[in-house]
Amino acid sequence: MEGPHDQAQILYNHHRQKIKGFTSTILQNLESQSSEHQFSIYNNLLEKFINGTELINNIFHYLNMNTETKNRSELHSIKITHWNIWNEVIYNPLKTRLLDCFWNMIEKDERNNTFTGEVKQFSDQMYLLSEDLYHSDLETKLISQASEFYKVIFIFVMIVQVLGIHYKSS
C-alpha cells in the first residue's frame, strides 16, 4: 500500500515532467519567434513559473503534514533534492533567457533611438515578479537568488532609461 510520501513523490514526478515539457516548448518557441512576440511568451512563462512554485510548495506541505517526526531528516534531504532539480529545470534556464530577452530589447531600442515601450514594460514585469517572490512561501535560497537578480535588472533598466532620456534631450 502506498504511503503519503509515495503519493507526494508520484505527484512531484508528474508535475516535474509537465513543467519540464512546458519550459522546453516555450524556450524553443522563443528561438523561433520575432522579438515583438517574445515579451508575451515571457509573461506566460513567468506566470507558469510562479504557479509551479506554488504547486511544489503544496507538495512539500503535504509531505510535512503526513510524515512522522523520525523521518524529518529524510524529508529535508528530499526537499533539497527537489529544489535543486527545480532550479536546474526552471530557474536557471529562465534566468538565462530573461537576460537574453532583456539585452535584445535594449539593443532594439538603441537601434531605434528609443528607451521606452518594451524596456519599461519588461522592468515593470521584473519588479512585479520580485514582489511576488518576496510574498510567496518559497525556499529562502530561491527567494534570495531571484530577488537579487531582479533587483539588479530593475536598477539597470532604470539607469538605461535615465541615460536614454538624457541622450534624447542633448
pLDDT in tens, 9-40: 565 566 556 656 655 665 565 566 555 565 55
Task: Note the residue count of the chain.
Answer: 170
Distance CA 41, CA 33 (A): 9
Report percent pLDDT > 90 for the chain.
0
Q: Can you read off the three cell numbers belonging to residue 38? A: 517574445
When mean pLDDT is compared across 9-13, 67-71, 152-156, 164-168, the lowest value belongs to: 67-71
Banded pLDDT at 69 (limits 50, 70, 90): very low
Quote the pTM value.
Answer: 0.30
pLDDT tens profile 98-138: 556 555 655 555 555 554 455 555 555 555 554 444 444 44
Distance CA 125, CA 57 (A): 23
Quick one: 20 exposed, middle or buried, by C-beta within 10 A (0-12, 13-18, 19+)?
middle
Is 122 within 8 Å of 157 (Cβ atoms)?
Answer: yes
Is 164 within 8 Å of 106 (Cβ atoms)?
Answer: no
The half-sphere exposure of 51 on its side-chain side, counting CA atoms within 13 A, is 10
